[in-house]
Amino acid sequence: MDAHGYRILEELGRGGMGAVYRAFDPRLGREVALKQLLPSAEGDPDLLLRLRREAEALARLRHPNVVAVHDLVSLGGRPTLVLEFVAGESLEERLRREGPLPPAEVLSLGEALASALAAAHAAGIVHRDVKPANVLLRAKSGAPLLTDFGLARDLRPEAERLTRTGSFLGTPTAVAPEQVDARFGEVGPATDVYGLGITLYAAATGRLPFAGKTALAALEQVVSRPPPAPRAFAPGLPPPLEDLLLRCLAKSPGERPPSAEALARELAALEARVAAGEFRGRRLAAPAALLLAAAAACAALVAASGSSVEDAAPGERPEGTGPVSLPGEGFAKGTLAPPR
């Protein structure tokens, strides 16, 4: 226990610059999360400013789908952010365990997160790192909470800027094109619309739209290739949801939904249509039709050559038939479950 009374219970995660702990605050009788810079990072003024900026950003935000900040203190001589502890798991962890979510749940999740981003943008904050690893799901209700504002940008004119330039920050498979190449436009609220598109694409299909064996290969896809159609991996997805996801992932910020608030309205309207059963027949028919077509094709192939799909050489298999191995940290680490 330290001078502030926090008793560390366990380490929740660790990266190159900091660690997160579950701790108990005996003064208020509650569990908290402590985000603390590692000793090796304490002398970096940009990292210190980033932690302080994260605390200030969260302090300006009051939203049920954003993790709350309690304090910014020095523990053991190290700057430490005291955050709300969320019992549950990340969206990344759930997708790895269970695979894609049902369309209705994707829409509900998206509406809540779009509302949280709209509140952040209204407060002059751009998250810049929206991805499944930064979405926490409460254990009992499943309610999503946006977390980790460590890369957030303060859009207010008087905001203090970081001194480091020319460095890349973010997850290669989840960044927007304008975060890679300024010729696509400025980083702003539309960047978070893109990040939410990445997150919902993953929730709907069980995979990211872009992946590469190296970070550079992934970034090349982000700036030069269109995302694969989500229904190629999730045939039962309502077509309007596919269209909305692809608009969120437009290379040009101006071609995406105009704001997080507008995106929340679109998601809510589509959620109501799904709840009313508008796509129920299509959701059941689409996979069946694909299975029938695939069965007919396989039968024809076997009749013609006596071979089977299992006999095909690895290079002859269609792309996207298996799980994707992703580079880097967070969501881009490990393998996601293939679509069900």
Annotation says 129 is catalytic: yes
Give SS3 for 117. Answer: helix
- Say if residues 67 and 86 touch (Cβ distance below 8 Å): yes
Active-site option among 25, 44, 46, 129: 129
Alpha-carbon span 121 to 63, nearest angstrom: 12
The two three-digit tokens of residue 327, written as one number: 């580079």
The two three-digit tokens of residue 105, written as one number: 């749940």
Tokens 């490990």 map to which residue? 334
Within 10 angstroms of residue 264's Cβ, the number of other Cβ atoms is 21
The torsion defined by the Cα of 336, 195, 86 and 59, in degrees rounded to 10, comes to 160
Alpha-carbon span 258 to 329, nearest angstrom: 30
Q: Within the chain, what is the greatest distance between any pair of CA atoms?
A: 78
The two three-digit tokens of residue 291, written as one number: 């299975």
Look at strands 144-146 and 135-138 and give their pairing.
Answer: antiparallel
- Say if residues 199 and 210 touch (Cβ distance below 8 Å): no
C-alpha distance from residue 273 to each of 33, 143, 240 (Å): 38, 21, 10
* Phi and psi torsions of 25, nearest 5°: -105, 100
Cβ contacts of 189 within 8 Å, gap of 6 or more? 117, 121, 126, 259, 260
Radius of gyration for the alpha carbons in the chain, expressed in angstroms and rounded = 22
Q: Which sequence positions are flagged as catalytic? A: 129
